[in-house]
Structure 1
């Protein structure tokens, strides 16, 4: 099954093999379970450099448009403003849409106020679709980790669950699903909402933890906060906002809206007395927001829907891509 390397494999083969990071006093946050960004101290400065890398490969349409916010969201969820990007573009043959990809990258970078400062491009005949890998960098006055949630905090989500996954369902599978064309057309426009840079900017001063739910959706993101923070998250599934378009496409595809790519939503934990201020700040910025749960002491787990999730959450879109590849 494709997807992220498991936490056990990361612990066994990755986290202990980081060169001189453990001895480098400028590394404030290095590789760790659930942490999508590194934090590096600027010598002689109060600012922190935040760095994150992310690939995007399975979305067949608008890969450049999706790639920039997918990378920059991890920077924003760490309390930083994205400023610089490097982009590696791997193309499946010389007829690949390089012009379209680079045009979309340029527009998306301008939208978040980031500069593309380098990268690499090449053709790889073995690929079936374009593969992008982006590194985003930015500066923060205060780094916000994934693992900062504390007992007594409240859990918030911005916008809604499955925004990126909904756009992918509409663009990659819309012709195959029994969903009204108008619904697919509205869902395709969700790609314009997957940046959480402004969401994070609105509430970061209050956040103890923030996280960008990507693969595995909102449920995976919540579990990653719980594991990184060493706490128990209790979430009311019915409180998680799910849009009409998402429900329609997910029902047609037989997938769970809380288990599909979730970029576009921002998960955050905040002190209980800061909830009202955060929701007001989000509304002022033009975004939906909802309190969906609480943080308590206990073994790391996600309590939701009357059950408990402790194992990594697999994304429901992967089997759809695998089936499409088999049929083709």
Structure 2
């Protein structure tokens, strides 16, 4: 059993089933295929998501905060507040100020208030670590979290592997320059403009989408697996219809990575009855979008590439 499949089983059996049953009907828990918990207030609904990242020169604090923002926006929520905890190996005030300034500047750009922060000195991490909890108010009404059924369309919005490509350029630029020009890599370095989700989720809900999934660490194939797990359905996916940048393909060829399994922050999957309508509406709004497959009965997750069928694995 590979470690990814073991992680899914461990999360379902050891973590999710170990949690106490919910005592409140106005609270839902996050889980596989659902990126945030929800709190229903007297006059609105509140969603919460949390992430932990290591604060290094690659800008992972920025990308991880953007991921929390994207998860909420795709669910039809407007992020409005966040709290943070910074954990450091030693009391380095200069480094702490730099991290907090980056976090504060990003929050301002996202129109999110930093409402509470804490710091801790800990030897657990070799480099500074930041935990961010973000809160969002419900703004889009739709059938989100309705049951995913067989014979529904799967629409992908955005290009897969954008953040993964960006991080590889930052990590291995000197190596990449032995094959590619500075100008070519500069195009990939501008991928950071594609990381933020805007109103794609609102458009999807207006077109009848019942499920939205942010494509994150495990790439589009990981997101598809979790979609199938969340709906307890099978999949038939056309690999050739998955949107991807040529720079992502070529850089991953150089680094030996699978471009469909690297971080896809900024892209999303939607499940809807009419994928053609949704992809057209997204395209009209200026977003790359395509129908990449359908849900099926059973549990087979099939990828079709150049007429050949293979099975998706975790």
* TM-score, normalised relative to structure 1: 0.83
Which residue in the other structure is 2:192 paired with?
191
1:186 CA drift (Å): 1.9
Whole-angstrom distance in 1 between the partners of 2:255 and 2:117: 36
Whole-angstrom distance in 1 between the partners of 2:83 and 2:40: 20
Which residue in the other structure is 2:128 paired with?
130
Deviations 1:195-250 (A, max 9, x none): 22432233233211110111110000011000110111211111111112212211
Deviations 1:117-149 (A, max 9, x none): 113223445533332221111122447657843
Residue 82 (str. 1) matches residue 107 (str. 2)? no
Whole-angstrom distance in 1 between the partners of 2:311 and 2:151: 19
Q: Which deviates the most, 167-176 or 90-99?
A: 90-99
Whether the 8 Å contact between 1:80 and 1:138 is mirrored in structure 2 is: yes
Deviations 1:238-291 (A, max 9, x none): 11111122122111101111010111111111112xx34322332343221111
Which residue in the other structure is 1:223 paired with?
225
Whole-angstrom distance in 2 between the partners of 1:308 and 1:96: 50
Deviations 1:87-114 (A, max 9, x none): 2222354287434432332232233322
Seen in structure 2, the aligned counterparts of structure 1 residues 279 and 256 have a Cα distance that, compared at 3 Å, is: same
Which residue in the other structure is 1:316 paired with?
none
Which residue in the other structure is 1:73 paired with?
70
Residue 166 (str. 1) matches residue 165 (str. 2)? yes
Secondary structure of 2:61's counterpart equals: helix
Which residue in the other structure is 1:10 paired with?
11
Whether the 8 Å contact between 2:142 and 2:205 is mirrored in structure 1 is: no
Secondary structure of 2:267's counterpart equals: coil
Seen in structure 2, the aligned counterparts of structure 1 residues 146 and 3 have a Cα distance that, compared at 3 Å, is: farther
Secondary structure of 1:188's counterpart equals: helix
Residue 309 (str. 1) matches residue 308 (str. 2)? no
Q: Which deviates the most, 235-244 or 60-69?
A: 60-69
RMSD: 2.6
Seen in structure 2, the aligned counterparts of structure 1 residues 215 and 89 have a Cα distance that, compared at 3 Å, is: same
Structure 1 residue aligned with 2:102, among 88, 104, 122?
A: 104
Whether the 8 Å contact between 2:51 and 2:65 is mirrored in structure 1 is: no
Whether the 8 Å contact between 1:96 and 1:130 is mirrored in structure 2 is: no
Which residue in the other structure is 1:324 paired with?
none
Seen in structure 2, the aligned counterparts of structure 1 residues 34 and 227 have a Cα distance that, compared at 3 Å, is: same
Seen in structure 2, the aligned counterparts of structure 1 residues 304 and 215 have a Cα distance that, compared at 3 Å, is: farther
Structure 2 residue aligned with 1:261, among 255, 260, 263?
A: 263
Whether the 8 Å contact between 2:55 and 2:61 is mirrored in structure 1 is: no
Secondary structure of 2:287's counterpart equals: coil
Whole-angstrom distance in 1 between the partners of 2:4 and 2:128: 17
Secondary structure of 1:25's counterpart equals: coil
